[in-house]
């Protein structure tokens, strides 16, 4: 069995190599090996869950401006990036659960979700670094814990060690240009030795004005973009199954928000991210060890500049340092036919933030730390050889909140409303138990069905626990007593390979969520410096939800060079119980979750012929609610995107991508228009040395 396990690892590695060499975009993937279900390679046809992937050749055929664009056409995944490449970030909704913090996103198996705000900085990675994307749908906290409620997205970067130099130049609309340089190589002798790479990336764009012409004033300016990144990794291969990789990436991103009064660049966000990852894999006689240590440190700066309705100018800076560091240890013992995986995770997340006002004297600070200690056991067991596969396990997460505090110095009218809430917060802790069980039954070589029950949870975000201050709706109070929200999902699905040309993967699921967090009015109101009283709100565990969904994904291999991918997704996410506070005028019972489209349909035609490949894709995103109270509904959106890629000679590849071909304008939830049609031409040069 140990040999089989090793063979799986080898096959997984070989599949990477093969994908690089293969220009055909549509590998039919019913028996593909994936790493996301249990942290070790497993065959997709034995996993009782829906798992989608996009390999290198498929990714090359897509118009990718950002990494999250690779997820747009995956059934059941909704990517909200309404300002295109100029968006501050992207929000990914899966399985009817809105917000990136309800989906776990990993980079090479290391979590990217931050403890401070739960979100993921999708810009950290440049699209052509991607080797493969794996998307495990449905809860997976039994293996991963935090954030794995709607699903898990695992971004896998290139692993080849060939001696290669490449450069890429991009030119796009709205003043966009970019450059990337990559140098990779090795000092391998008989499969042992060093391997390394270094990548540098730069992108700049003038952007567009977010305000419509009728409401524009002198403070409106273009939402620009400037970003650069450096990534380097150094690895040592002791043997084929024993290696150590250290990688580091630095990312500096500056994005305007379309408002400028006096300051250079106006209101803008700057993210400086340091991401260090140490990965150690060793196949011993006892079992296979996978150890990952990581540090994700984000230094966030925001310059806030505005003139309010009364004509009062305001300028303040927000400084936030968010750090997540941890060690994930996974072990697959060579016992009982390699059925078990066990793991222990330790993680520390912290936030240290302050707002410094310059048009008043306020200095408002907050900080806090969340510690997680977790252990899990997972088993994949063939109950009936080649027919019935069982998979399941559980995980226990214990979290401790500590060092929480919120203080105000030199308060003016802006900060004075928060003074009663300043001080040190009491410690808080909770324990979460997350089981999962599923069965997949293989009806024949090409047909299988599965059923599963799985749980997931999202821990409270540090920012909600420690930050008191102004938000768009009024004033938000910190709640250090917040607890995680959780979900249980029951799912039925199947996978069929029909006539060697057609893959059909439908799923039906129902989820019950508990203790979902909402901002609830405390009944008080406060003047936060706008000459008017606004409601005081506090995020609390207040509601239960029910999500009913159906999704179907198909791949039709029309010709050798032509493949059609279709997907449809329906879900209805409703709040079944809303525990109103005594002063809460809003009752959300029966309301739908915001930012979750009921219907989503995608169609993608992928073609590939020798030197030419590309795709044309259509995306329909149904209506969705803008607000918790379901009073404002966003219109449905239809988008057509296209990409073509041509290999000019052994060294040069040219590509042309168009997003939103028909220049459809739509309004996002903040009332800002989309950028409309966006194109990019790029030229890639690569050479082996």
Partner 1 sequence: MRRGIIFLFLSVTKCKYIHIGIILLFFLMAGCKENENNEPPLIHLISESGYLSNDTILKPGESFKVKLSAEKGSADLTNFVIIVNNGTEVRYLDSAMHSSSFSWNGILNKTVAKDESWTFLIRDRNGANSIRTIHLKSDTVSAFNPLTTVRTIQLGAQQNTVYGGFCALGNDSVYSVEAASLNQNLIDICYYFGPEGNTLASPGANIETGIYPDPFSPLNWGTKRETRFIYASLASGVFDSMQNDSLLLANYVPSLAKRKAKFLIANDCYYFKTASNKLGIFKVKQVTGQQSGDIIFEIKYQQ
List residues binding partner 1 (CB under 8 A).
Answer: 163, 165, 183, 185, 187, 194, 196, 198, 230, 232, 234, 248, 250, 261-263, 309-310, 312-315, 356-361, 412-413, 531, 687, 689
* Residues contacting residue 602 through CB under 8 Å, at least 6 positions apart: 72, 73, 75, 565, 566, 567, 617, 618, 619, 620
User: Quick one: tokens of 261?
Assistant: 């009064």
Is the Cα torsion angle 19, 22, 25, 29 positive or negative in sign? negative
CB nearer to partner 1: pick between 416 and 630: 416
CB nearer to partner 1: pick between 181 and 280: 181
Shortest Å distance, C-beta 232 to partner 1 = 5
Instruction: For residues 44 and 503, give the distance between their C-alpha atoms in angstroms, rounded to a whole number.
Output: 14
CB of 527 within 8 A of CB of 536?
no
Q: How many helices (H) and strands (E) does the chain have?
A: 5, 36
The tally of CA atoms less than 13 A away on the side-chain side of residue 429 is 9
CB nearer to partner 1: pick between 28 and 194: 194
Nearest to 676 by CA among 688, 658, 689: 658
Shortest Å distance, C-beta 74 to partner 1 = 34
Nearest to 146 by CA among 120, 121, 164, 171: 120
DSSP SS3 for 190: coil
Shortest Å distance, C-beta 125 to partner 1 = 18
* Residues contacting residue 120 through CB under 8 Å, at least 6 positions apart: 89, 92, 100, 105, 112, 113, 114
Shortest Å distance, C-beta 310 to partner 1 = 6
CB of 645 within 8 A of CB of 612?
yes
CB nearer to partner 1: pick between 354 and 381: 354
CB nearer to partner 1: pick between 83 and 196: 196
Shortest Å distance, C-beta 322 to partner 1 = 18
CB nearer to partner 1: pick between 2 and 270: 270
CB nearer to partner 1: pick between 383 and 687: 687
Name the residue with tokens 């992937």: 53
Instruction: For residues 319 and 290, give the distance between their C-alpha atoms in angstroms, rounded to a whole number.
Output: 36
Shortest Å distance, C-beta 295 to partner 1 = 14
Shortest Å distance, C-beta 272 to partner 1 = 9
Instruction: For residues 333 and 236, give the distance between their C-alpha atoms in angstroms, rounded to a whole number.
Output: 24
Shortest Å distance, C-beta 323 to partner 1 = 17
CB of 292 within 8 A of CB of 279?
yes
CB nearer to partner 1: pick between 314 and 599: 314
Shortest Å distance, C-beta 312 to partner 1 = 6
DSSP SS3 for 687: strand
CB nearer to partner 1: pick between 69 and 305: 305
């Amino acid at each position: 069995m140990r040999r089989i396990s090793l063979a799986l690892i080898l096959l997984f590695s070989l599949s990477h190599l093969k994908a690089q060499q293969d220009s055909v975009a549509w590998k039919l993937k019913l028996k593909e090996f994936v790493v996301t279900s249990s942290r070790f390679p497993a065959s997709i046809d034995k996993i009782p869950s829906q798992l989608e992937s996009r390999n290198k050749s498929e990714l090359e055929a897509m118009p990718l401006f950002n990494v999250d664009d690779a997820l747009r056409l995956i059934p059941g995944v909704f990517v909200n990036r309404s300002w295109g490449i100029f968006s501050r970030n992207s929000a990914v909704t899966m399985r009817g659960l809105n917000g990136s913090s309800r989906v776990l996103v990993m980079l090479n198996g290391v979590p990217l979700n931050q403890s401070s705000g739960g979100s993921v900085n999708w810009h950290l990675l440049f699209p052509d670094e991607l080797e493969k994307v794996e998307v495990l749908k449905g809860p997976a906290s039994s293996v991963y814990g935090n954030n794995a409620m709607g699903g898990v997205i695992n971004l896998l970067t290139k692993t080849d060690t060939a001696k290669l130099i490449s450069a890429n130049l991009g030119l796009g609309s709205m003043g966009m240009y970019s450059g990337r340089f990559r140098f990779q190589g090795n000092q391998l002798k008989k499969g042992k030795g060093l391997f390394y790479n270094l990548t540098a990336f730069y992108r700049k764009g003038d952007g567009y004005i977010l305000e419509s012409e009728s409401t524009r004033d002198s403070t409106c300016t273009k939402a620009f973009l400037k970003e650069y990144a450096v990534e380097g990794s150094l690895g040592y291969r002791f043997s084929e199954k024993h290696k150590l990789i250290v990688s580091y990436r630095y990312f500096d991103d500056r994005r305007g928000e379309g408002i400028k009064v006096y300051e250079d660049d106006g209101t803008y966000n700057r993210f400086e991210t340091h991401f260090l990852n140490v990965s150690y894999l060793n196949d011993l006689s006892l079992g296979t060890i996978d150890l990952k240590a990581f540090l994700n440190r984000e230094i966030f700066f925001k310059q806030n500049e505005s003139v309010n309705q009364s004509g009062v100018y305001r300028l303040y800076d927000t400084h936030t340092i968010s750090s997540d560091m941890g060690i994930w240890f996974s072990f697959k013992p060579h016992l009982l036919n390699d059925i078990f995986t066990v793991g222990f995770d330790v993680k520390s997340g912290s936030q240290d933030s302050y707002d410094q006002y310059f048009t008043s004297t306020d200095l408002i600070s907050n900080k806090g730390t969340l510690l997680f200690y977790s252990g899990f056991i997972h088993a994949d067991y063939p109950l009936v050889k080649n027919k019935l596969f069982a998979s399941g396990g559980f995980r226990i997460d214990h979290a401790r909140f500590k060092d929480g505090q919120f203080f105000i110095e030199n308060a003016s009218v802006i900060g004075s409303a928060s003074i009663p809430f300043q001080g040190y917060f009491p410690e808080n802790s909770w324990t979460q138990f997350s089981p999962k069980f599923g069965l997949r039954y293989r009806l024949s070589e090409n047909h299988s069905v599965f059923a599963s029950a799985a749980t997931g949870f999202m821990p409270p975000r540090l920012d909600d626990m420690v930050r008191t201050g102004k938000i768009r709706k009024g004033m938000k109070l910190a709640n250090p007593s917040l607890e995680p929200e959780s979900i249980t999902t029951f799912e039925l699905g199947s996978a069929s390979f029909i006539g060697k040309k057609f893959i059909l993967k439908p799923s039906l699921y129902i989820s019950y969520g508990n203790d979902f967090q909402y901002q609830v009015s405390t009944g008080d109101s406060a003047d936060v410096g706008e000459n008017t009283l606004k409601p005081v709100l506090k995020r609390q565990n207040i509601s239960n939800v029910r999500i009913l969904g159906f999704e179907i994904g198909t791949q039709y291999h029309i010709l050798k060079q032509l493949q059609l991918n279709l997907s449809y997704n329906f879900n209805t996410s409703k709040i079944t119980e809303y525990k109103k506070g005594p002063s809460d005028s809003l009752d959300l019972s029966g309301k739908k979750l915001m930012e979750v489209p009921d219907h989503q349909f995608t169609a993608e035609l992928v073609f590939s012929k020798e030197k030419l490949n590309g795709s044309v894709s259509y995306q329909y995103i149904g209506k969705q609610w803008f607000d918790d109270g379901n009073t404002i509904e966003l219109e449905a959106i239809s988008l057509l995107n296209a990409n073509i890629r041509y290999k000019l000679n052994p060294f040069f590849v040219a590509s042309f991508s168009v997003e939103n071909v028909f220049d459809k304008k739509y309004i996002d939830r903040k009332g800002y228009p989309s950028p409309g049609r966006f194109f990019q031409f790029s030229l890639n040069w690569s050479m082996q040395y």
